[in-house]
Amino acid sequence: MAEQNKNNDFCSFLKRRNFKSRLKKLTQKLKNKKIVIYGAGQLFEEINRHYDLSGLNIIALADRKFNDYEEEKFLNYPAVSPSKIIELAPDYVLVSTLKYFDVVKTMDKDKFDEKNIKIIPFLGIDFINKIKGIWQIPERTTQNVQSSQLGDLYLKDSEMTLSESEFLKNIILNKKPQKILELGVAAGASSTLILDTIKDFENSQLYSIDFNTEYYRNPQKLTGYTVPEELKSKWQLYTGGLAYKFMEKIGGDIDMCLLDTMHCNPGEILDFLMIYPFLKKDCTVVIHDITRHTQFQNCPDTCCTLFSALTGKKSVPSYTEYKYFPNIGAVELSDAMKENIFNVFMLLMLDWEYRVSDKDIKNLSKYFRKYYPQELVELYEKAVVYSKEVLKNMTEKPNHTHIKQKFRHFFKTFIPNFIEYSKY
């Protein structure tokens, strides 16, 4: 049923985008040109089902899901891994995904340019949306990652890069955790990845918590809306509050957790303190966005600080799409974490960047009292008083940071990306 609705969604989406006319133009423009379609997901399946593609000389479909695909064909077209496109030497690559630039930025464009292979969107893109797409491309990345075992799971509304998703997957495959906790679900891409990875593990379960019941990027949709029905039997989703509201229901003995929530103070620091009493001594804590502040100026460094403060064996991916350092990290907690928990409470004394509701502040005092010694709860309470002062001062003074950030993004990121991507 959900699948059926999705197909209908795509179908009306294609009509709204006037795909019929786009196809007609492409058929004329690309007559006798060799074409590879990049992206063989539901969007392409829908196009293939409802439109006549016989006027296009499609020599192959490329998709990451074909990296380890046994069959030679998919929907009657030769199916290849994206890394094979160059060998096929097509004239055009038509990118058949909703987020065009998310794909383009992962392609080794220099190699395509060298062979004079043109990359264009299958759906067509108007000027405004092109500018919007380029605006959203982060600052220049260093490496292009071509190979992956993750297939479509990466591209579907994911907020993680390919290397980050692979890192998360490998940690789960190596550790085989029974009880996993996830804070920060959004559309559900990381939940899907975790659930897909544990689907054959006996007795493994994922508990996910998100502050928002509606998907934070589009309130018309629900948090976790992309998680496929067939993976939901091992999933418990809690939404509509901070973690402390749900942790007693979820219970202890958590083997692994993923923290991916606010990325600004107190954010993940406070979240970690809410969940810590329920983690196994050697729990693996994965934190996303540990170097987000290196990608955008004036971006908070909450996750970096928390990652550094945790005690245990740390690991990061061996490669990254980012310029400086991987943006995801894991800590396998050690026995010393308990003695060092003061360090994490201490981080609450950093300036808070958003207001936590009075009700949550009060409930958290009570909650922390159950699990932590008096002096740590007092530290929390002092941090709350200080944070109120900081936030009061911030609202009283005009804040130009936001405008400065936009200017910086325009000159340092948008302009170089515009030069690089506007021809696609």
Ligand X SMILES: C[S@@+](CC[C@H](N)C(=O)[O-])C[C@H]1O[C@@H](n2cnc3c(N)ncnc32)[C@H](O)[C@@H]1O
Nearer to ligand X, 238 or 421 (CB): 238
Question: How much of the chain is helix, strand and coil, in % rounded to 5?
Answer: 45, 15, 40
The single residue among 69, 216, 225, 418 that binds ligand X, judged by CB under 6 A, is 216
Residues 167-196, mask of contacts with ligand X (x by CB under 6 A): ----------------xxxx--xx------
By beta-carbon proximity to ligand X, the closer residue of 48 and 265 is 265
The DSSP letter of residue 410 is I
Q: Which of 188, 179, 239, 248 is nearest to 209 (CA)?
A: 239
* Of 97, 148, 204, 261, the one binding ligand X by CB under 6 A: 261
Q: Which CB sits closer to ligand X, 119 or 169? A: 169
Where does this chain touch ligand X (CB under 6 A) — which range of 102-110, 158-166, 322-330, 337-345?
158-166
Which C-beta is closer to ligand X: that of 158 or that of 197? 158
Least Å distance between CB 274 and ligand X?
8
How many residues comprise the chain?
A: 424
Is 262 a binding residue for ligand X by CB under 6 A? The answer is: yes
CB burial of residue 95 (10 Å; 0-12, 13-18, 19+): buried
Give how far Cα 144 sits from Cα of 99, 136, 416, 423, Å. Answer: 17, 18, 17, 19
Q: How far is the CB of 121 from ligand X (least distance, A)?
A: 24
Considering the complex, what minimum distance in angstroms separates the CB of residue 241 from ligand X?
8
If the CB atoms of residues 224 and 312 are measured against ligand X, the closer one turns out to be 224
From 300, 295, 288, 292, select the one nearest 329 (Cα to Cα). Answer: 288
> Residue 94 or residue 194: which is nearer to ligand X going by CB?
194
Cα dist from 154 to 44, 74, 147, 169, 311, whole Å: 17, 20, 12, 11, 30
Among positions 91, 108, 152, 159, the unique one binding ligand X when judged by CB under 6 A = 159
Residue 261 CA: distances (Å) to CA of 18, 182, 242, 287: 37, 10, 10, 9
Instruction: Give me the residue whose beta carbon is nearest to ligand X.
Output: 184
Query: Three-class SS of residue 57?
Result: coil
List residues bridging with 312 in a β-sheet. Answer: 333
Task: Give the interface with ligand X as residue ranges (CB under 6 A).
Answer: 158-160, 183-186, 189-190, 209-212, 216, 223, 242-243, 260-262, 271
